[in-house]
Amino acid sequence: MPRKTLEIPRKIEWLSVLDHEGNLDKKLEPKIPAEDLRKLYKTMLNSRMFDERCFHMQRQGRIGTYGPTKGQEAASLGFAYAIGKDDWLVPSFRETAAMLWRGWEMDKILLWWAGNEAGASVAEGINDLPICVPVASQCQYGMGVAWGCKLRGKGQVCITFCGDGGTSEGDFHEAMNFAGVYQTPMVMVIQNNQWAISIPRESQTASQTIAQKAVAYGFDAFQVDGNDLLAVIVAAREAVEKARKGGGPTLIECITYRLGVHTTADDPKKYRSDDEVKEWEAKDPLPRLRDYLIKKGVLDEKGDQAVRDEIKAALDAATHKFEQYRHDQYEMFHHMFADMTPELQRQMAELKDYHEWKESGKKRQPSRVI
C-alpha cells in the first residue's frame, strides 16, 4: 500500500484585535458595553497597582515570597469576563486580575501571599479554587471540575490556567488527555509568558506552538495575542460557548510576557536581556487598553486619575485590614483530626508553654520545652 498523509480535522487560529498603539480591527471588535469597558480597565489597573503594592510589601518583610502578574493581566481578565457566576475558574498564581473580577477581596489575597491558610478560603458564591503554586497540578483539578460540570448537566464551564512551563509537566498532559476523552466543558488557558523561571520557551518544547498540543488530544485550539484584552475576550467567548453547548474542550495559548520577576526570590537579569524586556514593554496590555478606551471616548485623563485614586484608597484599606488579621496559632492542632489525639494535645501544651515563656521574659525555659 502506498504511503499517504493523514488528515487531522483540527484547526489552530491566531487572533489579534488590538495592535500595540491601541488601533483595532473593527471587523473583529467584540461588543462590550461602555460601562463594562470601564470596569475591565479598572480591574486591570487594580491588578497592576495591587501587584506593585505586594512587591514592596514583600521587600519590607510584610508578606512572603510573591509572584508578580505585571504584563499578564489581560490573559486572565478576558476569561473571567467571558464566564458567568455559576461557571468555575481554576487559577495558578498569576490570575490576580481574574480573581478581582470574580469578587475576591484584596486583603484575602494578601493573606494567601503571607502564608496564611485563611487566604485559601473561597468566599460564598464564588465558584473558584484558590491560588495554586505547585506547577500544573491545578490542571488536574480543573479537568475534574469540568468533568463534574458535565455530569451535573447544568451547562457550567470551567476555565483552567497554566503557564508555558507547566506544559512540560505530566499533570498537564494527563488533564488534556482526560478532557479530550470525556469531552469536558473545559477551556485550558496557557499563559505563555516566554519564560519558565529561567528556562526560555524554545527550551520547553520543539513544537511550533503550544496551542497545537491540543490536536494530539482531539480538540481545537487558538493562539491569541494575550496582551490584547479584546482578542482574549473574543477567543474566550467562542470557546466558552462551544463548551457550554457540549462541544468539548478548547486550548487557548495566550502569547504574553512576564515583565517582572518570576517571584520576589528571582533575579531575571541573570538570564534575559534588558532589550528583550523593553521590546515587550511596548506591548504592555494596560496602556494598549487605555489608549483604545480614550480613542473610543470611554475614558479621559480626568477619569483615569479618578480611578487610580479610588484604587489606591481601596488598596490602603485592604492592606490595613490584612495587617489587623490575627490567626489562631494553634489551628494546626485543632484541625488535624475531628478529636485531638493525646500526642497532639501534648504538643499543643508544649507550644503554649513556650509562648508563655517568651511573653514572660524569663531567662529559664520551661523544662518540657525542647
Q: Tens of pLDDT along 44-95?
A: 999 999 999 999 999 999 999 999 999 999 999 999 999 999 999 999 999 9
Proportion of the chain above pLDDT 90, given as a percent: 85
User: For residue 20, what pLDDT is reported?
Assistant: 81
Q: Count Cβ atoms below 10 Å from residue 286 Cβ, excluding itself.
A: 18
User: For residue 367, what pLDDT is reported?
Assistant: 55
Nearest to 252 by CA among 2, 54, 57, 13: 13
168: confidence class by pLDDT, cuts 50, 70, 90: very high
3-state secondary structure of 121: coil
368: confidence class by pLDDT, cuts 50, 70, 90: low
- pLDDT of 28 above 80: yes
Question: Across all residues in the chain, what is the average pLDDT?
Answer: 93
- pLDDT of 143 above 90: yes
User: For residue 359, what pLDDT is reported?
Assistant: 82
Nearest to 159 by CA among 17, 254, 24, 256: 254
Domain limits, the chain: 12-324, 328-370
Q: Which of 132-146, 151-165, 317-331 has the lowest mean pLDDT?
A: 317-331
The arithmetic mean of pLDDT across residues 302-327, rounded, is 96
In order of 107, 146, 287, 345, the CA distances from 292 in angstroms are 31, 34, 8, 61
The class of domain 12-324 in CATH terms is alpha beta
pLDDT digits (tens, 9 = 90+) for 246-273: 999 999 999 999 999 999 999 999 999 9
User: For residue 366, what pLDDT is reported?
Assistant: 57
User: For residue 363, what pLDDT is reported?
Assistant: 63
Angle at CA 271, nearest 5°, toward 266 and 273? 115
Catalytic residues: 258, 262, 271
Nearest to 23 by CA among 304, 301, 288: 288
The arithmetic mean of pLDDT across residues 110-116, rounded, is 94
pLDDT digits (tens, 9 = 90+) for 8-26: 777 789 999 998 877 889 9
User: For residue 364, what pLDDT is reported?
Assistant: 60
User: For residue 103, what pLDDT is reported?
Assistant: 97
User: For residue 145, what pLDDT is reported?
Assistant: 98
pTM for this prediction = 0.90
User: For residue 12, what pLDDT is reported?
Assistant: 87
User: For residue 166, what pLDDT is reported?
Assistant: 96
> Residue 331: CB partners within 8 Å, gap ≥ 6?
117
Cα-flanking dihedrals φ and ψ of residue 107, to 5°?
A: -65, -30
User: For residue 120, what pLDDT is reported?
Assistant: 92
pLDDT digits (tens, 9 = 90+) for 286-297: 999 999 999 999
Q: Which of 58-62, 94-98, 363-367 has the lowest mean pLDDT?
A: 363-367
| Start-to-end CA span in the chain (Å) | 78
Cα-flanking dihedrals φ and ψ of residue 162, to 5°?
A: -150, 155
